[in-house]
Structure 1
Amino acid sequence: MERVKKIFWLIHLVVWVLFTLLVVLQLGGKGDVHWRSTTAGFIANCLYVFYSHFYLLTRYAGKRKGGGYWLQLAGIVLTGPLLFLLFHHGPFEFDYYAMHLVTSVPIFLVLGLLARVTETLVLNTIRKEQLEKQAVETELNYLKSQINPHFLFNTLNNIHTLVYKQAPAAPEAVMQLASLMRYMIYESNAATVPLARELDYLRDYVSLQQLRYKNSPVVDLQIAGETAACSIAPLLFIHLLENAYKHSPARLEPGDLKVRVEIQEDTLAFSVHNPIGRKPDVVLEAPGGIGLPNVRKRLTLLYPGQHTLDIHSTGDIFTVTLTIHGLHAPAHERQAQLLHY
């Protein structure tokens, strides 16, 4: 905000310097021996009227303009031409006073009004955008804070089972969890992370979950396209994968969970397919829990108008497909689009 105000003052300075040069060129070429004092008086008159009204409007900004404003405005109008006459050689001439009273004074009163309105409009627009950005960041931080306890709760339950059974894989599970938490606590604080790093995080998660199964890897992860040049908002995919585990049968065969990541130009498609597990006399909970509503909200905030989230079930297979467009859009364009939405 202070930077914008400094820019406005620089604009003021440049405009007044150019205006002064124009007046000097106009009056200096007429052969008047007193052109310097005439120029100084005219510039002083213009500056006084312009900035007196400018600051008067600043003082009454957001307030009803009562008698105090109009009384002070009348004072500016009546005293404005006097500065010109102070520099004028010779006795007081009412004609000069009246001429400036009906020409330069109204013009610079209006210019002061336009300058004040313009600056107020720009500053208020910037303030509004900053407040909206802060609100979005606050909500995103809140949504991300929901991820850590939810994920930690699920994973600690798995490790507890391994420890209870005195499984040799328990120490490895603890190290896997430490690696995952390091990513979640430190690296995921950035607005975006390399897609390759986010996929490494998913691989670590899959490795940790695989400790629950005796079969060969139950997750079939396939990646197509170039991931090195792409960045993505962190922790978008983990809930989709968690839901696949959560709502699958207790016994999974190798490759039952299919995860596909495909990058084409600036479009990313992430899909998860899992068999639906059903227990007798228990109604299947709608897939999502905390996860899918969280993902939907974050996508709305991070990729407004740039994503689709398709969820459908064929009865035995549940599929979630997330498509994100415009991965390479500049940050300022994404921010402008976010504020628009």
Structure 2
Amino acid sequence: MERVKRIFWLIHLSVWVLFTSLVILQLKSETDAHWPSTTAGFIATCLYVFYMHFYLLTQYSGSRKGRGYWLRLGGIALSAPLPFLLFHHKQLDFGDYSMNLVTTVPIFLFLSWLARVTENLVLNTIRKEQLEKQAVEAELTYLKSQINPHFLFNTLNNIHTLVYKQAPAAPEAVMHLASLMRYMIYESNAATVPLAREMAYVRDYISLQQLRYKNSPVVDLLLEGETTSCYIAPLLFVHLLENAYKHSPARLAPGDLKVRVGFQQDTLTFSVQNPIGPGAVAALEEPGGIGLPNVQKRLSLLYPGQHTLSIQNTGETFTVQLTIHGLHLQAHESNAHLLHH
């Protein structure tokens, strides 16, 4: 905001320098031997009227201009000749001067009003954008904070079961959880992360979930495209995958969960398909769950007009596909994109 105000003052200075130069050229061309004092008096009058009214409007900004404003405005108009009298060296031609005063004072009163209104409009627009940005950031922070407890509770329940059964896989599960929490707490604070890092997080999640199954890997994961050059908002995929586990049958055959991730040019596609378990058709969320509504809300804030989220239920399988268009290939470009929105 301060930077914008400094820009306005530079504009003021530039305009006054240009205006003064034009007045000097005009008076010098009239072969007036006393043009320096005449110029100084005229410019002083213009500056006085302009900025006295400018600050008067600042004082009465946002309120109804009552009696106090009009009295002060009248005082500015009546005292406008004083700066000219201070600089002028000779007896005035009050007739000519009065005519000039009648035209000059209203013009600079109007120009000061126009400048004040323009600055207020620009500053208020910037403040509104900043408030909207802060609101979006606060909402995104809230939505991300919902992810951590929900996922942590589910994972701790799984680890508790392993420890209770004294399963050899318990230490490995703790290490996977530590890796996941490190990413969620520290790395996911960035506006965007490399797609490759997000997929490493997804693989950790899949490995941890796989501890629940005795079969070969129940997830068939296929990754296509150059993931190191793509940057996305963190923690977008975990809920889609979590829903797939939650609403699948208790027993899954190898490859029952199909996860496909593709990145071509500037378009990212993520899809997950799972068989439908008993009771999963009626409700997509258990009590206290977050899931798809959270993902949809975050996507609307992060990628408005850039994404599609399609859901297909065939009665036997449930498929969710997310497509994000217009992704930038460099981290700094992606961050700039998110700030713009």
| Structure 2 partner of 1:7 | 7
| Structure 1 partner of 2:232 | 232
Question: How far does the alpha carbon of each residue in 1:9-36 deviate from its partner, in whole angstroms, 9 at most, with x for none?
Answer: 1111111111112222222233322111
- Alignment partner of 1:117 is 2:114: no
- Alignment partner of 1:223 is 2:220: no
| Structure 2 partner of 1:30 | 30
| Structure 1 partner of 2:255 | 255
SS in 1 for 2:311: strand
Whether the 8 Å CA contact 2:80–2:105 is kept in 1: the answer is yes
SS in 2 for 1:321: strand
Whether the 8 Å CA contact 1:215–1:253 is kept in 2: the answer is yes
How far is the alpha carbon of 1:101 from its aligned partner?
A: 2.2
How far is the alpha carbon of 1:92 from its aligned partner?
A: 4.0
Residue identity matched to 1:132:
E
The whole-number CA distance in structure 1 between the counterparts of 2:84 and 2:100 is 8
The whole-number CA distance in structure 1 between the counterparts of 2:217 and 2:186 is 29
Residue identity matched to 2:130:
Q
1:99-118 → structure 2 map (5 Å cutoff) = 99-118=99-118
SS in 1 for 2:80: helix
Question: How far does the alpha carbon of each residue in 1:241-267 deviate from its partner, in whole angstroms, 9 at most, with x for none?
Answer: 001111111111111100001112111
Whether the 8 Å CA contact 2:192–2:335 is kept in 1: the answer is no
Whether the 8 Å CA contact 1:78–1:101 is kept in 2: the answer is no
How far is the alpha carbon of 1:84 from its aligned partner?
A: 1.4
Mean CA deviation greater in 209-218 or 110-119: 209-218
- Alignment partner of 1:53 is 2:53: yes
The whole-number CA distance in structure 2 between the counterparts of 1:155 and 1:165 is 16
Unaligned stretches of 5+ residues in structure 2: none
The whole-number CA distance in structure 1 between the counterparts of 2:21 and 2:339 is 41
Structure 1 residues 135 and 159: CA distance shift in structure 2, 3 A: same
The whole-number CA distance in structure 1 between the counterparts of 2:250 and 2:97 is 95
| Structure 2 partner of 1:152 | 152
Whether the 8 Å CA contact 1:81–1:105 is kept in 2: the answer is no
Residue identity matched to 1:182:
R
| Structure 2 partner of 1:85 | 85
How far is the alpha carbon of 1:97 from its aligned partner?
A: 3.6
SS in 2 for 1:103: helix
The whole-number CA distance in structure 2 between the counterparts of 1:71 and 1:97 is 24
- Alignment partner of 1:213 is 2:210: no
Mean CA deviation greater in 321-330 or 174-183: 321-330
The whole-number CA distance in structure 2 between the counterparts of 1:223 and 1:205 is 16
The whole-number CA distance in structure 1 between the counterparts of 2:251 and 2:334 is 45
Residue identity matched to 1:309:
L
| Structure 2 partner of 1:16 | 16
The whole-number CA distance in structure 2 between the counterparts of 1:332 and 1:117 is 30
Residue identity matched to 1:243:
N
Say which of 284, 287, 295 aligns to 1:287.
284
Q: State the identity %.
A: 76
How far is the alpha carbon of 1:331 from its aligned partner?
A: 5.0
The whole-number CA distance in structure 1 between the counterparts of 2:320 and 2:76 is 69
| Structure 2 partner of 1:245 | 245
Residue identity matched to 2:104:
S
- Give the number of aligned pairs: 334
1:125-144 → structure 2 map (5 Å cutoff) = 125-144=125-144
Whether the 8 Å CA contact 2:248–2:274 is kept in 1: the answer is yes
Question: How far does the alpha carbon of each residue in 1:291-323 deviate from its partner, in whole angstroms, 9 at most, with x for none?
Answer: 111001101111111111111111111100011
Residue identity matched to 2:150:
H
Whether the 8 Å CA contact 1:85–1:97 is kept in 2: the answer is no
| Structure 1 partner of 2:318 | 318
How far is the alpha carbon of 1:77 from its aligned partner?
A: 1.1
Whether the 8 Å CA contact 1:81–1:100 is kept in 2: the answer is no
The whole-number CA distance in structure 2 between the counterparts of 1:166 and 1:123 is 64
Whether the 8 Å CA contact 1:81–1:97 is kept in 2: the answer is no
Structure 1 residues 147 and 285: CA distance shift in structure 2, 3 A: farther
Whether the 8 Å CA contact 1:260–1:271 is kept in 2: the answer is yes
How far is the alpha carbon of 1:330 from its aligned partner?
A: 5.8
How far is the alpha carbon of 1:74 from its aligned partner?
A: 1.0
SS in 1 for 2:283: coil
Structure 1 residues 333 and 151: CA distance shift in structure 2, 3 A: closer
Please report the TM-score for the alignment, with normalisation by the length of structure 1: 0.94
How far is the alpha carbon of 1:99 from its aligned partner?
A: 2.0
Q: CA RMSD in A?
A: 1.5
Whether the 8 Å CA contact 1:269–1:324 is kept in 2: the answer is yes
